[in-house]
Structure 1
């Protein structure tokens, strides 16, 4: 039995789901909560899942990071709009030479962590998960669940598959979570953006689900144009995304259950949108390399307007 301690920073639809799966598999998991703290300390977590429902009547719940034990692996599952909190949240809970596992969408997240805390190893994770929080301590898992993991090294140098990442992958696999390991985290992050930039952005601007965007020939064409711009952005950082991958993403979305993206849910709930991590950072990265992405730039400006107006 593994004696690694896990901390979940952000027990929402994603952190709550993966953390609960790890605990159900017998791992020692500690959950940082905000609004759900009282409820979860009393009643635990409920997970409704296409892979089988389960309840954890007792979990290690905290609303103060300084009361948590130091953990070997700290999973960041907050929205990137809350990353300004990490300089307070991370140092008390991570062991020296521990692992920070960043399960967030977007680009250039790992370098931010490296600036906050130095004596740790950083792993980036890209989650392909349809899951929603439907009540206090209550998560509904609709589809998928796979995570792509890659080790972060300064400037996103390709890192290979380390023993450390393999151990964490094994913990997740033992908990019934499909894992794929990548030697090139930067390429994996750009590939995820091929889906995230068009569907998250357009779902908010056009008030549409994924199936509606794919059913209309005009918006489908727009999705495809945005995907090719993401590939141009990737190329500006020395990463190549094949045309066949873009086609696969289009086909995959057509077959997917009608889906309201995470950015659309945030917009509907009047929460801050993850515009910078998902769209602003890739745009600036490409511009820094002398490549202008006009459609993505247009998307970015519209989302900034809607996000600002939606907060008032």
Structure 2
């Protein structure tokens, strides 16, 4: 999307699809397409040289694999920009160290419509925790970039959205956010979760010596985002419906643990977390049953790996 950098895309589960029909990004800001024979599409970093920047788009639960995935691309001068949700910066620092690691948050409605097909639906700004060249990566691109003086505050502000809408979307079996917004009882529960998240976040910021609270007006801003997003399905629910691991730990479990440590009551968050866990377990049980069934032939059932 502009910028003029030499970029290589490291794909994992989508690599086979990309080598068949290419990698497609469909966006209101302009489409992008890489054909199947593009040398920029890779499934491994084997044979590559160290790069200037690694841009990570991993879910927080996969960060522990990031160093292995980077392989020889990560050199002594490589810097890492991790675009993630949730309270995961300590985990990231354990993998790459703090000195060359940059946290970032994407305010974007984007979903993987099919393998190697990405739909950018709405928004698209990037918030970076510290500067030192990270902003220059996006110069002359169509991505709006801001630098925040406090990444922890920015993470909590994004969690005012992620906690209720990712959490409730999963808890309700994988529904789009407009269903939550239009149902009076669900909307009220989401608002309570926002209020609890704001209370936990403000207590956590104070515990870290950060001055100033997140204002109550942010709740209205989150509802404005949601009401304009329409039938958006959070990525946590995309993973739920696909039978993949769901990002509950850093979006719900860690904030709830912070609440307990700080003495902040969060009954709605606790309730929705249990419902989300139950939804994940039910979905995984269904996927496992389907996998076992796929191995059944002539009355004999073979467990699928």
Instruction: Kindly indicate whether the alpha-carbon contact (under 8 Å) linking 1:32 and 1:63 is maintained by their aligned counterparts in 2.
Output: yes
Structure 1 residues 25 and 44, CA gap change in structure 2 (3 angstroms): farther
What are the equivalent positions in structure 2 for 1:1-312 lying under 5 Å apart? Answer: 21=1, 24-41=2-19, 44-57=22-35, 58-90=38-70, 92-107=72-87, 109-118=88-97, 120-151=99-130, 162=131, 164=132, 167-207=133-173, 208-237=175-204, 238=206, 240-312=213-285
CA distance in 1, matches of 2:148, 2:231: 29
CA distance in 2, matches of 1:128, 1:116: 25
SS at 1:253's partner residue?
helix
CA distance in 1, matches of 2:42, 2:220: 44
Instruction: Kindly indicate whether the alpha-carbon contact (under 8 Å) linking 1:198 and 1:226 is maintained by their aligned counterparts in 2.
Output: yes
SS at 1:174's partner residue?
coil
CA distance in 2, matches of 1:30, 1:91: 14
State the match for 2:290 in structure 1.
none
| Structure 1 alignment gaps of length 5 or more | 1-20, 152-161
Q: TM-score, normalised by structure 1?
A: 0.81
Instruction: Kindly indicate whether the alpha-carbon contact (under 8 Å) linking 2:50 and 2:78 is maintained by their aligned counterparts in 1.
Output: no
CA distance in 1, matches of 2:45, 2:69: 6
Counting strand residues as a fraction of each chain, which structure ranks higher?
Answer: 1
Instruction: Kindly indicate whether the alpha-carbon contact (under 8 Å) linking 2:128 and 2:134 is maintained by their aligned counterparts in 1.
Output: no
Structure 1 residues 173 and 143, CA gap change in structure 2 (3 angstroms): farther
Instruction: Kindly indicate whether the alpha-carbon contact (under 8 Å) linking 2:112 and 2:118 is maintained by their aligned counterparts in 1.
Output: yes
Instruction: Kindly indicate whether the alpha-carbon contact (under 8 Å) linking 1:102 and 1:110 is maintained by their aligned counterparts in 2.
Output: no
CA distance in 2, matches of 1:116, 1:229: 31
How far residue 244 of structure 1 moved from its aligned partner, in angstroms, is 0.7
SS at 1:64's partner residue?
coil
Question: Considering only CA atoms, is the larger Rg found in Structure 1 or Structure 2?
Answer: 2
Instruction: Kindly indicate whether the alpha-carbon contact (under 8 Å) linking 2:111 and 2:118 is maintained by their aligned counterparts in 1.
Output: yes
CA distance in 2, matches of 1:50, 1:117: 34
Q: TM-score, normalised by structure 2?
A: 0.83
| Structure 2 alignment gaps of length 5 or more | 286-305
Q: Mean alpha-carbon deviation: is it higher for 135-144 or for 244-253?
A: 135-144
Instruction: Kindly indicate whether the alpha-carbon contact (under 8 Å) linking 1:128 and 1:144 is maintained by their aligned counterparts in 2.
Output: yes
Number of aligned residues: 276
CA distance in 1, matches of 2:241, 2:98: 39
How far residue 42 of structure 1 moved from its aligned partner, in angstroms, is 6.6
How far residue 213 of structure 1 moved from its aligned partner, in angstroms, is 1.2
